[in-house]
Chains A and B, each alone.
Chain A
């Protein structure tokens, strides 16, 4: 197996749509947004000598009299109803601390999870002691944001059968701003794998569960070996996600699927080479433009 060694080249951005220079609403720190003093300043801005200036790099959003700048590279700022994929970092008295790529660790209260068996009852002292049997440090879960605390920490819940502990699969960590907000974040892709596009940038790829496993509701994690064909599909999807993220393409089920189809002519491990990445992303962007127009 010859190792792939090469000299570095300056990466060029692959973009079919209007270039970044032409868009007027993109700013970098220090750019003056407006000199009009009638606006209220929101997040990402500050007033410098009566001029509203941006303090982060991103796009300007204006809602009536409020101007704020939404940065491209940021930690996850959760809102109620967002679907997140997180990793348990701590097991505390009546709650778990979950890492979701936000500024503070999110909280999953014991009262916000479905107990095994689906019973609805008061949480007893015994439940507290057996918390670790259900979710341990390092486990991955999919959950929904129930509320936001005053300090900005998120409170999560897994009170539906589609949320819960995640089994075998691959986690890909990307920037939260690349995930498109959609009606549903759980997709069963036709290529043979399933994907959870968490709003916090954590994307979970897993083999599509069989019919009987769907009724278990996420408490029983199957440790059966995954078949080689499923594995290949998941690896290919993972590399496609990384390729799309490297070229800052918005991620949603259609874009991921188009990228997968464009990558079929290459071997899975070749997708991460820079020139192959560019080619695949270009094809994906072309297909997406055709679909829109």
Chain B
């Protein structure tokens, strides 16, 4: 990830501040920065969302295509994730520089969604063993200012909420083969239930305390972080440790508990906001990228 240089004295200042629960920008250890979420920003996708968390900006697009289901689970569809770190975010991502980070992020997303409950995969089935919906979730990093995992997970949840999958009708044609017809009506579509989609909370260990939503300067003072994905009921679907430093087993337990608490609190405002945006309908003033 993009890293900034911090002097020793600045590190000491940041460390002491976090110890006293007053970070450089006045936040407490469990406060998020100002977040702005907008869905339906990319017109040629089935669902999209743009999330700005402080200076981090993430764009997610979801495209639904018809494909063959996996042999092990013939009556389920599946999701494919791809994260692209654009060179817009930082010059380090130029060319193939962002590939490593991109693969790491998409692997984490696969792990987070690798369970039966996050997305109802059975609803993505069209005809068992032959056709199913495949959701290609593409994430584009536009700006990088720390806390990529959280921003990406919120954007994925918002984009999945916004996804409109067309209804299909299966009919048998003259030779006895199956024919798939997509409905012509743009409003005749299926929506996904994203209640159980988890949100990722990154807990960074700085000094002796753990901090949520770190900026790049605070990240330079931390050696290890724990990535926890939490559903709205507080169930943890994936825990991952990143960073070169070591974590005490006790602190892992504390961080997981704190992560569960913070993650649980993220879902309710997000769903209210998404519902509010949906209810505005045509009256909503689209801001897009020119705000």
Interface residues of A (CB under 8 A from B): 1-11, 87, 89, 136-140, 166-171, 221, 223, 225-226, 228, 231-232, 235-236, 238-239, 267-269, 271-274
Summarize A's interface: helix, strand, loop or mixed: loop
Rounded to whole Å, the gap between the CB of B219 and the closest CB of chain A is 14
Once the chains bind, are B287 and A10 in contact (CB under 8 Å)? Answer: yes
Q: Cβ of B269 < 8 Å from any Cβ of A? A: yes
Count CB-based A-B contacts (< 8 Å): 121
For the complex, what is the distance from the CA of A170 to the CA of B215, rounded to whole Å? 13
Which residues of chain B in 124-158 are interfacial with respect to chain A, using CB atoms and an 8 Å cutoff? none
Once the chains bind, are B35 and A271 in contact (CB under 8 Å)? Answer: no
For the complex, what is the distance from the CA of A257 to the CA of B291, rounded to whole Å? 29
A-B residue pairs, 8 tightest by C-beta: A268-B26, A3-B32, A269-B26, A168-B13, A138-B5, A8-B36, A235-B26, A225-B16
Once the chains bind, are A1 and B26 in contact (CB under 8 Å)? Answer: no
- Which residue in chain B gives the minimum CB-CB distance to A222? B9
**Given A1-B31, A166-B9, A7 and B37 touching (CB < 8 A)?**
yes
Once the chains bind, are A238 and B24 in contact (CB under 8 Å)? Answer: yes
For the complex, what is the distance from the CA of A86 to the CA of B127, rounded to whole Å? 64
Once the chains bind, are B9 and A231 in contact (CB under 8 Å)? Answer: no
Which residues of chain B in 25-52 are interfacial with respect to chain A, using CB atoms and an 8 Å cutoff? 25-28, 30-38, 52
Once the chains bind, are A1 and B30 in contact (CB under 8 Å)? Answer: yes
Rounded to whole Å, the gap between the CB of B6 and the closest CB of chain A is 6
For the complex, what is the distance from the CA of A236 to the CA of B23, rounded to whole Å? 11
**Given A1-B31, A9-B287, A10-B285, A267 and B26 touching (CB < 8 A)?**
yes
Rounded to whole Å, the gap between the CB of A150 and the closest CB of chain B is 27
Residues of chain B within 8 A of A136, CB atoms compared:
7-8
Residues of chain A within 8 A of B273, CB atoms compared:
5-7
Once the chains bind, are A8 and B287 in contact (CB under 8 Å)? Answer: yes
For the complex, what is the distance from the CA of A74 to the CA of B24, rounded to whole Å? 27
Residues of chain B within 8 A of A239, CB atoms compared:
25-26
Once the chains bind, are A2 and B9 in contact (CB under 8 Å)? Answer: no
For A5, A10, A170, which residue has the most chain B Cβ atoms within 10 angstroms? Answer: A5
Residues of chain A within 8 A of B179, CB atoms compared:
none
**Given A235-B24, A235-B26, A271-B26, A5 and B270 touching (CB < 8 A)?**
yes
Residues of chain A within 8 A of B24, CB atoms compared:
170, 235, 238
Once the chains bind, are A170 and B13 in contact (CB under 8 Å)? Answer: yes
Q: What are 8 A-B pairs at a CB distance below 8 A?
A: A3-B266, A7-B36, A7-B273, A8-B291, A10-B285, A170-B10, A221-B8, A235-B24
Once the chains bind, are A169 and B26 in contact (CB under 8 Å)? Answer: no
Once the chains bind, are B262 and A1 in contact (CB under 8 Å)? Answer: yes
Residues of chain A within 8 A of B31, CB atoms compared:
1, 3, 269
For B17, B276, B290, which residue has the most chain A Cβ atoms within 10 angstroms? Answer: B17
- Which residue in chain B gives the minimum CB-CB distance to A167? B9
For the complex, what is the distance from the CA of A226 to the CA of B9, rounded to whole Å? 11
For the complex, what is the distance from the CA of A7 to the CA of B290, rounded to whole Å? 14
Q: Cβ of B247 < 8 Å from any Cβ of A? A: no
From B10, B28, B52, B269, A8 is in contact (CB under 8 Å) with: B52
Rounded to whole Å, the gap between the CB of B260 and the closest CB of chain A is 14
Residues of chain A within 8 A of B291, CB atoms compared:
8-11
Rounded to whole Å, the gap between the CB of A102 and the closest CB of chain B is 17
Rounded to whole Å, the gap between the CB of B247 and the closest CB of chain A is 23
**Per-residue A-contact encoding for B60-82, CB less than 8 Å = 1, 0 else:** 00000000000000000000000
Residues of chain B within 8 A of A235, CB atoms compared:
22-26
Rounded to whole Å, the gap between the CB of B277 and the closest CB of chain A is 6
- Which residue in chain B gives the minimum CB-CB distance to A205? B24
Rounded to whole Å, the gap between the CB of A167 and the closest CB of chain B is 5
Given A3-B31, A7-B38, A239-B25: 14 more A-B contacts, CB < 8 Å: A1-B265, A5-B36, A7-B273, A8-B287, A140-B10, A166-B9, A168-B10, A170-B13, A171-B10, A221-B8, A231-B20, A232-B22, A236-B26, A272-B34
- Which residue in chain B gives the minimum CB-CB distance to A140? B7
Which residues of chain B in 270-291 are interfacial with respect to chain A, using CB atoms and an 8 Å cutoff? 270, 273, 276-277, 284-285, 287, 290-291
**Per-residue A-contact encoding for B1-19, CB less than 8 Å = 1, 0 else:** 0000111111011001101
From B12, B35, B52, A3 is in contact (CB under 8 Å) with: B35
For the complex, what is the distance from the CA of A160 to the CA of B118, rounded to whole Å? 63
For the complex, what is the distance from the CA of A87 to the CA of B13, rounded to whole Å? 17
**Given A2-B265, A169-B13, A223-B12, A228 and B22 touching (CB < 8 A)?**
yes
For the complex, what is the distance from the CA of A9 to the CA of B23, rounded to whole Å? 27
Once the chains bind, are B25 and A269 in contact (CB under 8 Å)? Answer: yes
